[in-house]
Structure 1
Amino acid sequence: MDKAVPNITHDTDSNRRTLDETTDKLFREYYLAWGGQEAITEAEIEQLPEFFHRVPLDHEIMPQKLREDARATLLEKRSHELLENEELQSLWSVLGKFQSPPEIAGVKYITYENFKKAAQEASPKAKIYFTASTYAKLVHPDDKLSRVDILSFFNYVMKKVWMQQTRIGISLYDVTGEGYLREVDLENYILELIPSLCQLSHLERSFQTFYVCTAVRKFFFFLDPMHLGRVRIMDILASGFLDCMLELRESQTTEEQLANNWFSHQSAMRIYGSYLQLDEDRNGMLTRAELSRYGNGTLTDAFLDRVFQECITYDGEMDYKAYLDFVLAMENKREPQALAYLFRILDIGGRGRLDGITLRHFYDSMEEKLLAAGSLSPAFNDVQNEIFDMVEPVNPNYITLNDLIRCGKGDTIISLLIDLQGFWSHENREMFMTELPDEAEL
């Protein structure tokens, strides 16, 4: 019996090899019969162009240097293709020359015929903007002659030039050259951008690290939902966050505008100051007990427990980056990314749904807050029915993240479950409405 086993194994391997060869032979015959071509030879393989270029590794210094120089040369070439200030002024003069009367309320227009004439007289760099599709997009809807507002077209060109200039500037920090920035790349970009922002002229050097961290987190919180550790340059430009940051170049900015701008010195100091106030033991980290004082201390215990279960912590304590994500979620509850962050915390089972049992768990904690504050709590069934009526989920038995986003009331529902202040505001909304002055009295 001991000698029979190897023979059986050998016979099995031999049969399998024969079967594979027969299968390959039949496949080749049928493939050629149906119009296929013979496999390419080694010589033909060598003639094929290379479609994928591997990014050099950290220790490959020469390939890295070559890649950096090639990218810098390309970006410099693209930069020279952009319209300069003198060329933009010349473009404005050309558009004024070919304006098509009549003017309407002082607004100057241009017809498509004159638009084409202006394209011929404009500088070669500007010709790429004089396309039929661009004209069609900018046609004024109320103009019977289907003309384009000259100022609208000029602003369009200015915006395109600015976008291209900004993309070139950001691409210099794209180390891999693959169209995205890692966290360290974006940090370097913002760090070198700070001196050009006059509203940050009073930024202390000791606070720069925290400011850069605060600014970078907003980009990654909203533009890196999969937590890949990188954001696409196109997403950075399209998000409008960079526009908000570059507004800090303007010297004439109101205090209200600065307070509402996440990237302002005032806003960064407000957030960092709140972090320091919560950090009672001054160890640079926040415990669950310390975070419980966030806002006015109105967050429920069940929610705080889940925050420290789901968020990345160090020995059970939250660092500044995790705190920034928390603040961004709490201050932007209407945004899908914030709802996704908070939904993950509420989703106790990790099943992607909030059912009656989950809602009951968080409401019990809210009820404790209400009783401690001396308030009566409504029946859970009433609250649950109200939540499901607001959401109108696809499945009547549970609520998904998509349901929360689609209903447009996700921020209200989240507040009902985690924040005593939000719960009170919702329950007393009718009283607040009656206190508002009537339109006839205004």
Structure 2
Amino acid sequence: MHENFYPFYVFTATRRFMFFLDPKNTGRVSIKKLVCSGVMEELLELGMAGGNGGREGGEGGGGLGGNWFSAENSLRVYSQYLELDKNQNGLLAKEELMQYSGSGRQPMRLTAAFIDRIFDEITTYQSQGVGEGVGKQGKNSGTRKEGEMDYKTFLDFVLAMENKNTLPGLQYLWKLLSLGQDHMDSFTINYFFRDIVGVLKENGIENIKTEDVQDEIFDMISPVCGDRITFDELWKSGCGETVVEMLIDINGFWGYENRENYAEENEEYDEEVEGLMTA
């Protein structure tokens, strides 16, 4: 790792601790909580890999390039940020964040409604305007120019998107999806899913109905109040990650809609790989 990258590495690494261990954004984490956390275990796992490869995510690192604390991973996330920053002003505007594609095998294609909610809800840096200084922080309002996302805010976003199956990750996304309410309902689902329907229709796919998707989501969660889903119900159902992907990611929904076909393709791919390894 080049020493010029050290500050970005430290910032990227420490953000994971705060995201998972300080959900209320107090800026503090107790020693006991820190030592006993899975995040610390992940850091120690990287250290115990030993050798230069372990630190740099190289061949000797035991495949730990996916470990958040590896230099390889920090470079991956920071490179994503730089690639999205098309105007090179050090911040991300809505249209730039729209190009975020994630890190999984299947690239994400996030909806405009979801991106709008991020910039509505999450604290961002305000663009320079009349009577305003550059880099002023605060939530967006109708009297200000649209804010832009800094690297710290981007890190939280990435951590949530890559950990939708965790409590902190789902809590982050719930804040965006619930539209300021204490529940999700048919209006909420329609609000986000209409963007996906629009893109599918543009591509000649007309047979997807919002009502059917609403019914499927309610069946998956089985809320006590039939037409309202609370956060606890979403979390306890074990389907939170799937529901989120169905509502904010065009490719994620299409993958879910065609999950049986994808499962067969993945099985065939795994069999081919296994055959090559044993040949």
TM-score, normalised by the number of residues in structure 2: 0.80
Name the structure 2 match of 1:310: 121
Letter in 2 for 1:306: R
Aligned-partner Cα distance in 1 for 2:186–2:125: 32
Residue 243 of structure 1, CA deviation:
2.7
Report the alpha carbon displacement of residue 394 of structure 1 after superposing the two structures with TM: 2.2
Is contact 1:370–1:377 with CA below 8 Å preserved after alignment? Answer: no
1:221-260 CA-to-partner distances (Å, cap 9, x unmatched) read 1111111111111111111322322333311644563221
Per the TM alignment, residue 297 of structure 1 is displaced from its structure 2 partner at its CA by: 6.1
Query: Which segments of 5 or more consecutive residues in structure 2 lack a partner in the other structure?
Result: 55-59, 102-106, 127-146, 275-279
User: TM-score, structure 1 length as denominator?
Assistant: 0.51
CA distance in 1, matches of 2:178, 2:271: 46
Matches within 5 A, 1:240-251: 240-249=38-47, 250-251=50-51
- Tell me how far apart the structure 1 counterparts of residues 243 and 189 of structure 2 sit (CA, whole Å): 10
Residue identity in the other structure for 2:176: I
In the alignment, structure 1 residue 355 sits paired with structure 2 residue 185: yes
With over 3 angstroms needed to count, the CA separation of the structure-2 counterparts of 1:320 and 1:291, relative to structure 1, is same
Q: 1:318-333 to 2 correspondence within 5 Å? A: 318-333=149-164
Separation (CA, whole Å) in 2 of partners of 1:410 and 1:220: 22
Could you say which residue in structure 2 is the equivalent of 1:18?
none
Secondary structure of the equivalent of 1:229?
coil
1:406 to 225, 233, 236: 236
1: CA distance between counterparts of 2:237 and 2:110? 24
- Deviation of 1:396 after TM superposition, in Å, equals 1.0
Larger Rg: 1
Task: Output aligned runs, 1:57-206, within 5 Å.
Answer: 203-206=1-4
Q: Is 1:300–1:369's contact at 8 Å kept on the other side of the alignment?
A: no
What whole-Å deviation, never above 9, does each CA across 1:55-97 have from its counterpart, x for those lacking one? xxxxxxxxxxxxxxxxxxxxxxxxxxxxxxxxxxxxxxxxxxx
**For the residues of structure 1 that align with 2:123 and 2:197, how far apart are their CA atoms?**
28
In the alignment, what sits opposite 1:421?
251
CA distance in structure 2 between the partners assigned to 1:301 and 1:341 by the alignment: 18
Q: What letter corresponds to residue 33 of structure 2 in structure 1?
A: D
Aligned length: 239
Q: Report the Cα distance in structure 2 between the residues aligned to 1:227 and 1:401, rounded to whole angstroms.
A: 19
Cα shift readout 1:113-162 (whole Å, capped 9, x = no counterpart): xxxxxxxxxxxxxxxxxxxxxxxxxxxxxxxxxxxxxxxxxxxxxxxxxx
One-letter amino acid of the structure 1 residue matched with residue 113 of structure 2: A
Give the corresponding residue for 1:371: 201
1:321 counterpart SS class: helix
1:299 aligned partner: 110
CA contact (8 A) 1:258 1:267 kept: no
The residue that corresponds to 1:279 in the other structure is 85
Percent identity, aligned pairs only?
Answer: 43
Q: Distance in 1 between matches of 2:188 and 2:212?
A: 15
Kindly state the Cα deviation for residue 419 of structure 1 after the two structures are TM-superposed: 0.2
C-alpha contact (below 8 Å) 1:359/1:384 kept by paired residues = yes
Of 330, 340, 344, the residue aligned with 2:175 is 344
Q: Which runs of 5+ in 1 are unaligned?
A: 1-202
The 1-side partners of 2:42 and 2:218 are apart by 37
How far apart, CA to CA, are the structure 1 residues paired with 2:271 and 2:67? 35
